[in-house]
Amino acid sequence: MAERAYAALPEGALKRVRLGGLEAIYHAPSGITHLLAEPVPDLLDGLDSFGPGEFVTPHRLVARMAERFDIRGDDPAEAPEAVLGERLAELAALGLVRMRVGA
């Protein structure tokens, strides 16, 4: 199965403002603002830490984020990679991250 990889958008594409537990993210290319809840802002930070052009798998991203967070899902049977992979796919659909399939 082709694995999906994700990368942060180029610098300046997103304007992010924290609002307590939420984050308002303005997506400059579309002019749309999204209000997003945890863990999404942290996911974006995690991707950012690789740099804008660097495509990483959910696996690598989870490994990077585990350096800073105790990652806890509400279903122990479900791998964090799978859960965060779904979130990343949603972010890609919104245009907030870039996605690449395969390799």
Q: At its nearest, how many Å lie between another protein and the CB of residue 63?
A: 13
In one letter, which amino acid is 43? L
Of 57, 63, 64, 99, the residue at the interface with another protein (CB under 8 A) is 99
Per CB under 8 A, which of residues 17..56 are in contact with another protein? 17-19, 22, 24, 26, 29-40, 42
Other beta carbons less than 10 A from residue 74's beta carbon: 6
The end-to-end CA distance of the chain, in Å, is 10
Q: At its nearest, how many Å lie between another protein and the CB of residue 58?
A: 11
Cis, peptide link before residue 39, omega less than 30° from 0: yes
Asked whether the CA dihedral 9, 98, 55, 39 is positive or negative, the reply is: positive
Q: Which residues bind another protein (CB under 8 A)?
A: 15-19, 22, 24, 26, 29-40, 42, 65, 68-75, 78, 80, 83-84, 87, 89-95, 99, 101
